[in-house]
């Protein structure tokens, strides 16, 4: 089968590993359409040809680069005509202009799209029209979380849906640690994410304040709430137990996970935001770090049986959960093993690619 994937996200080299894994399947001939650069806010992400074995790549200029909902590709129709794909994998939201361009170019190909949207938002015209056209043309929707399935149904999509993350993880990079660091004299709780109110780090600071003095917190990330978090730590009397690492490159994260005894993601749902996945949770699990997550959005499903789930915003419940994990080496070891196994089984690049290919085959047989 010939598969054409259209994806701006795949300018990032490490994400391309999924394509190599897809291309390993003997019945798939894969080609990627990607821009030479994707401009996001104030930064530019140039195409990184890091994992390119086994499939072809067409780098096409992009109109309105940097506009999530408005961008399209120059020459996409010609690529479709030349390649004649059996399946077009649109790695984009169904209401964007690139979705309209793809549906008008698809010829006889079967179409699937990807969505993260886990909150019900009604799009204005013309995006609602584009979305409905994509719904009619698509035979499959890949949903990054379970709430996205419900959103699609309310909006009128009647095709088949599968819950599957957009990209997996490399278990060799996020390697399982052979042993956790000693809990004495200091036990380290780790957290990672943009320092914004919805990530709930103020809840985590208050939980840490309720724990013994040898329990320290390390935060990775930057954002507008840093000053407020520092002031809160001072008022709680825990500034000497708090370390800010700032923003770290992705290649530095595995060594940080290895330092931590527990990883916490205390996110808070907001009217216009809730967790769609949270890659840091899966990364920590892959490294063998026990995780505690709030029940915001998809995180409870990512952690599954391996994690401890607490009500979002509940300081006492979070403090108690951390205390229980810290106090039981057997509990930590079990959570560590379950977490690693869950990532390898469901969220590794190989697992995500294998399920994607299974869905390709079903499309052509349906």
**21 CB-contact burial (10 Å; exposed 0-12 / middle 13-18 / buried 19+):** buried
pLDDT at residue 187 above 90? yes
Looking at residue 273, its pLDDT comes to: 95
First to last CA, the chain: 14
CATH code of 2-167+349-365, in short, is: 3.40.50.2000
Output the six-digit token pair for 19. 């394509």
Fold adopted by 187-346: Rossmann fold (3.40.50)
Domain coordinates of the chain in residue numbers?
2-167+349-365, 187-346
Phi, psi for residue 265 in degrees, rounded to 5: -125, 95
Looking at residue 43, its pLDDT comes to: 83
If we measure between CA atoms, which residue out of 69, 76, 75, 73 comes closest to residue 92?
69
At residue 359, the 3 state secondary structure works out as helix
The pLDDT tens digits of the residues spanning 197-239 come to: 999 999 999 999 999 999 999 999 999 999 999 999 999 999 9
State the pLDDT confidence band at 40, using cuts at 50, 70 and 90: confident
The pLDDT tens digits of the residues spanning 113-128 come to: 999 999 999 999 999 9
Q: What are all long-range contacts of 121-126, with beta carbons under 8 Å and residues at least 24 apart?
A: 121/272, 122/155, 123/95
Phi, psi for residue 257 in degrees, rounded to 5: -55, -35
Q: Find where tokens 């359409």 sit.
A: 33
State the pLDDT confidence band at 182, using cuts at 50, 70 and 90: confident
**Cis peptide bond prior to 126, omega within 30° of 0:** yes
Looking at residue 82, its pLDDT comes to: 97
How far is the C-alpha of 127 from the C-alpha of 296, rounded, in Å?
Answer: 28
**Cis peptide bond prior to 185, omega within 30° of 0:** yes
The continuous run of DSSP H or E covering 183 comes out as none
How far is the C-alpha of 324 from the C-alpha of 274, rounded, in Å?
Answer: 27
Count other C-beta atoms under 10 Å from residue 72's C-beta: 18
**% of the chain beyond a pLDDT of 90:** 96
How far is the C-alpha of 167 from the C-alpha of 157, rounded, in Å?
Answer: 23
pTM metric for this prediction: 0.93
Looking at residue 235, its pLDDT comes to: 98
How far is the C-alpha of 258 from the C-alpha of 284, rounded, in Å?
Answer: 9
Q: Find where tokens 């699609």 sit.
A: 152
Looking at residue 41, its pLDDT comes to: 77
Q: 197: which residues sit within 8 A by CB, 6+ positions away?
A: 225, 268, 270
Contact 285, 303 (CB under 8 A): yes
Q: Do domains 2-167+349-365 and 187-346 have the same CATH topology?
A: yes
Rounded to the nearest 10 degrees, what angle do helices 76-83 and 97-105 cross at? 40
Contact 33, 79 (CB under 8 A): yes
The pLDDT tens digits of the residues spanning 292-341 come to: 999 999 999 999 999 999 999 999 999 999 999 999 999 999 999 999 99
The pLDDT tens digits of the residues spanning 68-112 come to: 999 999 999 999 999 999 999 999 999 999 999 999 999 999 999
Looking at residue 178, its pLDDT comes to: 85
pLDDT at residue 62 above 80? yes
Count other C-beta atoms under 10 Å from residue 229's C-beta: 18
Looking at residue 251, its pLDDT comes to: 87
Looking at residue 138, its pLDDT comes to: 98
Output the six-digit token pair for 292. 């505690």
């Amino acid at each position: 089968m010939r598969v054409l994937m259209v994806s701006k996200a795949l300018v990032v080299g490490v994400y391309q590993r999924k394509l190599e894994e897809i291309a390993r399947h003997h019945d798939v001939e894969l080609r990627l359409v990607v821009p030479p650069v994707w401009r996001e806010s104030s930064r530019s992400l140039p195409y990184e040809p890091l994992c390119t074995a086994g499939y072809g790549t067409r780098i096409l200029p992009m109109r309105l680069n940097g506009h999530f909902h408005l961008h399209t590709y120059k020459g996409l129709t010609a690529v479709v005509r030349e390649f004649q794909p059996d399946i077009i994998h649109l790695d984009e939201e169904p209401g964007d202009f690139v979705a309209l361009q793809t549906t008008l170019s698809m010829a006889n190909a079967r179409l699937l799209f990807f969505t993260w949207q886990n909150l019900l938002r009604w799009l204005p015209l013309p995006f609602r029209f584009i979305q409905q056209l994509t719904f009619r043309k698509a035979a499959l929707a890949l949903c990054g979380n379970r709430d996205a399935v419900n959103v699609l149904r309310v909006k009128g999509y009647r095709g088949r849906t599968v819950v599957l993350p957009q990209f997996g993880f490399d278990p060799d990079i996020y390697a399982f640690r052979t042993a956790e660091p000693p809990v004495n004299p200091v036990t380290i709780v780790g957290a990672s994410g943009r320092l914004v109110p919805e990530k709930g780090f103020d809840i985590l600071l208050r939980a840490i304040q309720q724990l013994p003095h040898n329990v320290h917190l390390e935060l990775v990330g930057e954002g507008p709430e840093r000053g407020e978090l520092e002031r809160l730590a001072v008022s709680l009397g825990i500034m000497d137990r708090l370390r800010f690492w700032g923003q770290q490159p992705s290649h530095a994260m595995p060594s940080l996970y290895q330092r931590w005894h527990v990883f916490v993601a205390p996110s808070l749902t907001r009217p216009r935001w809730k967790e769609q996945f949270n890659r840091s949770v899966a990364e920590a699990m892959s490294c063998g770090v026990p995780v505690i997550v709030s029940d915001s959005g998809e995180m409870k499903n990512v952690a599954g049986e391996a994690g401890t789930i607490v009500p979002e915003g509940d300081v006492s419940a979070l403090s108690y959960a951390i205390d229980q994990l810290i106090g039981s080496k057997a509990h930590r070891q079990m959570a560590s093993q379950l977490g690693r196994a869950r990532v390898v089984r469901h969220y590794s690049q190989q697992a995500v690619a294998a399920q994607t290919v299974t869905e390709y085959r079903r499309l052509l047989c349906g």
